[in-house]
Amino acid sequence: MITEIPTPEDFRHAGLSLLNLAWDAVSSMYLDLENSQVEEWDEKGEATGEFWRSAQRPLANAVVVAQQGIEFLLKARIAEVTPLLLISTQPRDWPSRCDREDTAFAEFRTIDAQDLVKFHDAVHPQRLEDTFRTKFQRFRALRNSIMHTVDKRLWHSAHELCVQVLEASHALIGSYKWLELRRDYLQSIPVAAVYDEYEPTWQLSWEACLLLEILTHAEGTRYLGVQAKQRYYICYQCTVNLRDSDLQPKTAQLHPNGPASVRIYCFVCERDDAVVRRPCSEATCKGNVIQEEDSVCLSCFNEVAR
């Protein structure tokens, strides 16, 4: 009998862990760039260009890792139908004596990466979208060239890598799931195991703000569910959770969008909050969206007289 058969959850866990590893790499590059304050004095963009030039090898590594993660997520979906489908070869090529002795699943050869999408769409009740299929093939080709040669013409973009991860999360896990998956991952990193106070809120909010900066409007809507052309306000809950940090993430939007709207939603903490509409009392602030309970302006975060 075939033993030690992995569950869809096992594959998903392996895949998400790799996607997060790739994401960590990109996120830390953006953080370094911000902390070095290069962009503030680098008017011609020369130093910033140099930064990304020097980032090419780590970015290429991250592409490889992310692609590996995506393949695991595809296997997870195939395994939802049944994990045994992943065994690709004819019984005659199976491990010898597997009919006589218990043999672990890992001893069997599984489907080649290049066939995963086709195989998935043949067996899974929900076929993949064309956008994902196209991106997957492109990144697979890119991964192969990274693995097999040093092609100096290749240029790896951090933005594109983020989109690769977000598209995979969208297509293989579900809409607007990445930040939730990211939170779960950050809550499982080694420091979280030994330090009770560890909270990934800062990292998550910082990354969410970064995404609003680097994604196109269409990408923001597709992957985060935000209304990209609509104004953003400081999320009260996220900012309170950030305590001592000076980050005030503008990750909340009115819904519906309108001058009379009294509800605000943050795509990071997923809280839907009540606001009142009256002008902020700060002379320099044009805000008119005030958090109801504590009377705080969500444009400048000052307390407003009631």
Footprint on this chain of Zn ion (rule: CB under 5 A): 235, 237-238, 266, 268-269, 280, 282, 285, 287, 297, 299-300
- Smaller CB distance to Zn ion: residue 168 or 179? 179
- Smaller CB distance to Zn ion: residue 110 or 237? 237
CA-based nearest residue to 165, from 136, 195, 130: 136
Contact 247, 269 (CB under 8 A): no
Contacts of 126 (CB under 8 A, 6+ apart): none
Smallest distance from Zn ion to CB 250, Å: 10
Smallest distance from Zn ion to CB 303, Å: 10
Contact 70, 19 (CB under 8 A): yes
Q: Tell me the three-class secondary structure of 68-101, residue by residue.
A: HHHHHHHHHHHHHHCHHHHECCCHHHCCCCCCCC
- Smaller CB distance to Zn ion: residue 10 or 282? 282
Beta strands per DSSP E along the chain: 2-3, 103-104, 233-234, 250-254, 263-266, 272-276, 290-291, 296-297
Peptide bond into 256 cis (omega under 30): yes
Question: From CA 164, how far away is CA 19, in angstroms rounded?
Answer: 9
Contact 17, 61 (CB under 8 A): no
- Smaller CB distance to Zn ion: residue 79 or 252? 252
Task: Record the tokens describing residue 39, joined without a space.
Answer: 């962009």
Smallest distance from Zn ion to CB 173, Å: 21
- Smaller CB distance to Zn ion: residue 103 or 291? 291
- Smaller CB distance to Zn ion: residue 84 or 240? 240
Beta bridge partners of 269: none
- Smaller CB distance to Zn ion: residue 70 or 179? 179
- Smaller CB distance to Zn ion: residue 164 or 201? 201
Q: Say whether 306 sits in a helix, a strand or coil.
A: coil
56: amino acid identity, one letter: Q
Smallest distance from Zn ion to CB 260, Å: 19
Smallest distance from Zn ion to CB 223, Å: 17
CA-based nearest residue to 300, from 241, 247, 246, 233: 233
